Chains A and B, each alone.
Chain A
Amino acid sequence: MSDTLPLLKMERISKSYPGVQALEAVDFDVVPGEIHALVGENGAGKSTLMKILTGAQLPDSGRIIWKNQPVNITSPGDAQALGISMIHQELSLIPHLTVGQNIFLGREIGSGIPGFINWKKLYRAAQELLDRLNVGIDARTEVRFLSIAQQQMVEVVKALSLNADLIAMDEPTSALTDRETDILFRVMRSLKAEGVSLIFISHRLEEVFEISDRITTLRDGIFVGTKEAATLTEAQVVNMMVGRELGELYPKTNRVRQEVVLQITNLQDNKELHGVDLTLHKGEILGIAGLVGAGRTALAETLFGIRRAVAGEIKIDGRPVRVNSPGKAIKLGMGLVPEDRKLQGVFLNMAVKDNIFISAMKQVTTWGFININKANRLAKTFVKKLGVRTPNVGQRIRNLSGGNQQKVVIARWLTLNPHILILDEPTRGIDIGAKAEIHGLMSDLAAEGMGVLMISSELPEVLNVSDRILVMHEGRVTAEFSRDEATQDKIMLAATGGLDQGGMLNENEHV
C-alpha cells in the first residue's frame, strides 16, 4: 500500500489559535482506496487538521498536495470541488426534507423551466446512489423517519453524489449501535473497494483496528506517527496517544457486596419499559448493557422521576417510594448524570463553580443570597477532589474538555451526597485518558459505599468497569452476568433478543 502514489499529502501543517499551538508541522497522507484512521485525544488536533483539509480553516503554514498538485483550499466549496467531503459528527441533514432533497440540496436537478426542479429525475438519481450502497433507504422518505445509522448512510451518499474521492468521517459511530456500526463498516469497505479513500476518526480503538488500513496518531498538535494497523496493538496506540503509560486501562478493584440500596420490581412506563426487575447493592457498579432503544435511558429517566411509571415498585433502603419528579428523586438520594452532556448535563455558558453548586444552593446561601466565599470554597473542594482540569473555578465550563465537563457534572451530584448515582453513557465522546479517570472515580465512589448504576453502549466499558452486568432488550432485563462470566458474545446475544434472532451469533448458544 505504501508504494501507491498518495491521493492526498498534507505537509508540515501548522496552525495556532491565540494561546494554543493547535498543530505543529503535522504530516498526513492518504493513498487511494484506503481507510485511514486518525486518532488522538480530544484537543490533539484531529478536528483542526480536518478543518484545514475541508477548507473551514486556513493553515498558518504547510502545504496540501492533492493528486500530485499543490492546492489551496480556502472554503468548503473548494474542497468539494476537488472531491473532498466531510461528514461531521453532528449530522446535518434537514429532518423534514426527503432523503433525495437532502442529498441534492443546492444542486437540484433542473427541469426545462428556469428555477423549477425536476423531481422525478432528482429522485431517480438519488435512488441510484442509495442503491449503489445497498442500504435499503427510499429516496422519498423524510429524513426524520430514519434511524441515526440510516442518516449516516444518507450523509455518505451525499458525499458520493459530490463525486468525492476522499470522505472524512468524524466519529461516525459514536451514536450507532454495534449492529448499525457493522452496516456502516460494510458500506465503508464497499466504498474502499470502489477506490474511494476514507479518513476515519474515532475514539473507539476496537473499531479503528477493525476497519482501518493505516493509523495516524496525533498528540497535542504534534504528529506522532503513521503505521499500518496490522503492525500495531491497541496498547501501542494508546501509548502513542497519551504519551504516557496508562497502567491498566481499566483498574480492577474487588469490592465486597453489601446490602441492597435500590430494588425495582416490574417497573413499566407507558411505552419503553415492559417490566424491569433490578437490584442494586451498596458499593457496587451495576452495568446496564443493551442496544439503543432497549429502554435503558427510559429506565434511568423513570427511576429519576423524569418519566412516569405506570406500574411496578421502587424500594430504596427497603422502603417503597414514589418518584414523580427529579426533585423527589434527589431528595431520595439519587443523582443522574445524563446521556447528553451538553444538552442535559451542564450549563454551558456558566462558570465551573456555578455548575457545581447549583444543586447545593442551600449549602452556600444565607437568607437567599449566595455567599460567594462559601460557593468558591465548595467548588474548589470538588474540583480538587475530582481532578477537574480548569485554570480556575470561574472558568466557563464550555471551555473545558468533555471529560472535565463530565467530572463537573459528577461533582454537582457529590455536593448532595447521594447514595445512588445513575450514569447514562458516562464516557461518550470522552478521550481515553479522561475516560480512565472517570472510571477510576466511579470505582472510588462505589468503594465509599455508593450504589452506582452505569448505562453504557460500549461493551469493553461495561465488561471492565461493572461488578455485575444486566442486559436489556425491548424494555426488559434479559440476562444478568457477574463480571467474570460476562463476554461480549453473551451480552450481544441477550441484547439482540437471544435465540429467536440468530443471525450473526451462534444460534445454539445459551445464556
Chain B
Amino acid sequence: MKTNTFSPLALLSRFSVLIILLGIGVIFALGSEDFLAPNNLLNIALQTSIIAIVAVGMTFTILTAGIDLSVGSIMALCGALAAGLAVKSGLGTFGGISLALIAGMLLGAINGLLIVRGGMPPFVATLAMMAVARGLTLVYTNGRPIAGIDEAFIFLGNGKVLGIPVPIIIMIVIAVIAGIVLRYTRFGLHVYATGGNEETTRLAGISPGKIKMAVYIISGFTAALGGILLTARLWSAQPNAATGWELDAIAAPVLGGTSLFGGVGNVGGTVAGAFIIGILSNGLNLMGISSYYQQVIKGIVFILAVILDLFTKRKK
C-alpha cells in the first residue's frame, strides 16, 4: 500500500497563482496593445520589485502563522533614516543605508520581543508598531520630504546593470536567498514546523520563540530595504511613503499560496503573487481605470485569494 500523493486539488492550488497570473496577463494583453511591449514589462517588474522584496520577508512571518502589519511604516521610517543620516547627518550613503537596515532589524526585533516575550498576538504587536514607526517617521522628517541624496543612492532605485534595473536585481537576489533558506536549511524547516504545530516543534527540542524572533527581524530587514529602494526611486524620502503597503505585502504571499494559518507556502509563490498585484495596477492604468477603482479591485482580489486559501484548507 503506497501512499497516493497525487491530488488534482493539490495540483490546482499549487499552480493556481501561475494560472491567475497568466489569466490576468492574457486579459490585459487583449485589453491594451501597450501591455506586452518590452518596456512595459520591464516597467511592471520594476514597480513590482520593491513590494516583492517586502513580501518575501512577510512570507516568513506568515509561515509561522504570524503577520507583520508594520512593514509600510518601517519602510517609511527606514527610507527616511537612510536619507536623513546620509544627507543631514553626513554619514554618507553607505553609512546611512547600513544604519537604516540595522534600524529595520531592530524594529523587527521589538516586534518579535512583544510577540514572544510579551505574549502579544502578532496582529496587535505589529499594529502598534505600525503606528509607532509612522509617528517616528513624521517626527524625524518633521513631516517634510528629505531630498538631496547622492548619485550612488539614486542609482539603487533608478540605475541599471547590464540593462536590468537595480531593484529587480536586488529582488531576485533576495528571493533566491530566501528560497534557499526555506528549502534547504534547518532554519527554513523550523519556520514551517513552527507554523505547522508550535507544540510539536517545542517537543522536538526547537525553540519556536527564537524562530519567531528571527522571522520578525527578517521582515524588518526586508521592509527597511524596500523603504530604502523606494527613497532611491523617488529621489527623496517622503514621510507618507508606503502608506497602506502592508496590504500588498500581505496579499502577495497569500495570493501566492502562503496560508495565513501558517506552515504552508513558498517564496516563488510570493514573487508570483507580487507580480499579480503589479500587473493588476499596471494593466488597470493602461486601460484607463481610475486609481479609486483600482483600490476596490485590489481589495476584491485579496478577498478572493483568502477565500481560495480557506477553500483548499477545508477541502483537503
A residues bordering B, Cβ < 8 Å? Answer: 76-77, 92-97, 101, 105-108, 110, 115-117, 119, 136-138, 140-142, 144-146, 150
Contact = CB atoms under 8 A, between A and B. Distances in A.
Interface of B: 1-5, 7, 184-187, 189-190, 192-193, 196-197, 199-201, 203-206, 263-264, 316
A92 B263 CA distance: 14
Contact of A142 (B5, B187, B197, B201): B5
Given A97-B263, A108-B186, 5 more contacts: A94-B197, A94-B201, A106-B201, A110-B186, A136-B2
A101 B7 CA distance: 21
| Interface-central residue, A101, A106, A142, by most chain B CB under 10 Å | A106
A117 B184 contact: yes
Given A137-B3, A141-B3, A105 B193 contact: yes
Contacts of A92: 197, 199-200, 203
B192 A96 contact: yes
B3 A150 contact: yes
A116 B182 CA distance: 10
Nearest to A99: B3
A101 B189 CA distance: 8
Given A94-B193, A97-B196, A105 B206 contact: yes
A82 to B, nearest CB: 15
A137 B3 CA distance: 6
B185 A117 contact: yes
24 contacts: A76-B203, A94-B192, A94-B193, A94-B196, A94-B200, A94-B201, A96-B196, A97-B189, A97-B192, A105-B201, A105-B206, A108-B189, A115-B187, A116-B184, A116-B186, A117-B184, A117-B186, A117-B189, A136-B2, A141-B3, A144-B316, A145-B5, A146-B3, A150-B3
Contact of A116 (B185, B196, B316): B185
Contacts of A96: 192, 196, 263-264
A110 B199 CA distance: 23
Contacts of B2: 136, 138
A158 to B, nearest CB: 9
A107 B204 CA distance: 8
A107 B205 CA distance: 9
Contacts of A105: 189, 193, 200-201, 204, 206
Nearest to B3: A141
A96 B197 CA distance: 10
B187 A93 contact: no
Nearest to B263: A96
A141 B10 CA distance: 13
A242 to B, nearest CB: 33
Contacts of B185: 115-117
A101 B186 CA distance: 10
Main SS at interface, chain A: loop
B176 to A, nearest CB: 15
Nearest to B200: A92
Q: Which 3 A-B pairs have the closest CB atoms?
A: A106-B204, A94-B196, A92-B200
B85 to A, nearest CB: 32
B142 to A, nearest CB: 44
Contact of B4 (A77, A107, A145): A145
B314 to A, nearest CB: 13
Contacts of B3: 136-138, 141, 145-146, 150
Contacts of B264: 96
Contacts of A140: 5
Contacts of A107: 204-205
A77 B196 contact: no
B196 A95 contact: yes
Contacts of A144: 316
A145 B201 CA distance: 20
B64 to A, nearest CB: 12
A110 B185 CA distance: 9
A95 B200 CA distance: 11
A140 B263 CA distance: 17
A395 B25 CA distance: 60
A136 B4 CA distance: 11
Contacts of A76: 203
B60 to A, nearest CB: 15
Contacts of B316: 144
A93 B199 CA distance: 10
Contacts of B186: 108, 110, 115-117
Nearest to A183: B1
Contacts of B4: 145
Contact of B205 (A101, A106, A150): A106
A252 B5 CA distance: 47
B2 to A, nearest CB: 6
B206 A138 contact: no
Nearest to A119: B184
Contacts of A138: 2-3, 5
Nearest to A146: B3
Contacts of A115: 185-187
Contacts of A119: 184
Contacts of A136: 1-3
A35 B252 CA distance: 52
A312 B21 CA distance: 43
Contacts of A116: 184-186
Contacts of A101: 189, 192-193
A136 B7 CA distance: 19
A94 B263 contact: yes
Contacts of B206: 105-106
A140 B6 CA distance: 12
A379 to B, nearest CB: 34
Contacts of A137: 3
Contacts of A150: 3
A228 B187 CA distance: 48
Contacts of B5: 138, 140-142, 145
A496 to B, nearest CB: 15
A328 B199 CA distance: 40
A100 to B, nearest CB: 11
Nearest to B197: A94
A146 B2 CA distance: 10
| Interface-central residue, B3, B187, B189, B205, by most chain A CB under 10 Å | B3
| Interface-central residue, B190, B192, B197, by most chain A CB under 10 Å | B197
A136 B192 CA distance: 26
A77 B205 contact: yes
Nearest to A122: B189
A107 B200 CA distance: 13
A7 B200 CA distance: 27
A93 B189 contact: no
B184 A97 contact: no
Contacts of A106: 190, 201, 204-206
Contacts of B190: 106
A18 to B, nearest CB: 24
A73 B3 CA distance: 38
A105 B187 CA distance: 11
Nearest to A158: B204
A321 to B, nearest CB: 28
A93 to B, nearest CB: 7
A119 B2 CA distance: 21
Contacts of A145: 3-5, 7
